[in-house]
């Protein structure tokens, strides 16, 4: 069972809620996948017009944990302000903290991220920082009070999978006791399985599911894949070899020469 800031979870799949063809399909995808956490952007809500109220009611009815995010924020001030608004709207201390460097790569601005994380942790937020696989930044985020890290697999929405296998394996080994969630860039269920095989605790997926021809089926596929990856890892898989090794012994076989 997973533990994120004291909340116990059985599902290893986090779902984003943007870009789905309809609220009904989103609802079906969440239910089919068994996901227990969904991320929600504050931008879906409109304080006065309540234009996002129907969406919020649907999310509330699903009975899942809501992880608000600061998507689209480019500065510490913007992220901190958005975080406070999100806590008021969604009624949770949880926060997926994003501080973006540029709009082309959507790469985290790691220096601003650390500063924003420190401010928010001091203000009693439970921060899930969207970061890179850089070990020094990861250490600074933990020192700032974060108890979870969310390194990217690849740039948001690209579907490229795990771009830096070496870096991610090193991060997993270096922070063996820290919950790690692969966030961004996954395109196929096999990417989620690979993340789990490397020892990552969970994955967060949005675009690959929402933009699939059948989002509900794809949500189920990701759910199965990450559990398969966990099972493979705990089954103690064989190590890769440089040379072929026959599965059928040749010792004792008849010779026809």
pLDDT tens-digit profile of 123-172?
Answer: 999 999 999 999 999 999 999 999 999 999 999 999 999 999 999 999 99
For residue 94, is pLDDT > 90?
Answer: yes
Give the length of the chain: 257
Q: pLDDT value at position 48?
A: 46
The pairing of strands 7-9 and 2-4 is antiparallel
Average pLDDT over residues 182-202: 96
Q: What is the pLDDT of residues 72-92, one digit of tens each?
A: 899 999 999 999 999 988 889
pLDDT value, residue 244:
84
Task: List, in order, residues 6 or more apart from 198 with CB less than 8 Å away.
Answer: 162, 165, 168, 169, 172, 233
d(Cα 205, Cα 216) in Å, to the nearest integer? 13
Q: What value does the mean pLDDT take over residues 213-235?
A: 96
- Residues with Cβ < 8 Å from 40, sequence gap 6 or more? 17, 56, 59, 66, 67, 68, 69, 90
Tens digit of each residue's pLDDT (9 = 90 or more) over 26-63 = 999 999 999 999 999 876 444 444 455 677 778 888 88
Residues serving a catalytic function are 96
Residue 233 tokens, joined = 């890892």
């Amino acid at each position: 069972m997973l533990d994120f800031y004291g909340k116990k979870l059985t599902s290893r799949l986090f779902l984003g809620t943007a870009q789905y063809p309809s609220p009904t399909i989103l609802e079906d995808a969440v239910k089919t996948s068994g996901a227990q956490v969904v991320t929600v952007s504050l931008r879906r809500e409109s304080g006065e017009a309540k234009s996002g109220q129907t969406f919020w009611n649907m999310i509330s009815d699903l009975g899942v944990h809501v992880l608000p995010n600061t998507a689209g924020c480019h500065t510490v001030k913007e992220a901190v302000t958005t975080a406070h608004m999100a806590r008021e709207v969604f009624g949770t201390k949880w926060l997926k903290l994003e501080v973006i460097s540029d709009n082309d790569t959507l790469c985290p601005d790691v220096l601003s991220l650390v500063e924003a994380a420190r401010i928010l942790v001091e203000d009693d937020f439970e921060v899930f920082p969207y970061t890179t696989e850089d070990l020094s930044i990861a250490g600074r985020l933990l020192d700032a009070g974060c108890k979870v890290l969310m390194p990217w697999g690849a740039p948001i929405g690209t579907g490229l999978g795990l771009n830096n296998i070496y870096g991610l394996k090193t991060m997993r080994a270096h922070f063996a006791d820290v919950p790690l969630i692969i966030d961004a860039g996954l395109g196929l269920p096999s990417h989620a399985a690979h993340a789990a095989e490397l020892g990552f605790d969970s994955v967060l997926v949005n675009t690959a599911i929402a933009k699939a021809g059948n989002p509900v089926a794809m949500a189920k596929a990701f759910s199965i894949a990450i559990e398969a990856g966990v099972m493979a890892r705990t089954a103690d898989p064989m190590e890769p070899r440089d040379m072929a090794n026959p599965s059928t012994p040749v010792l004792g076989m008849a010779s026809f020469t």
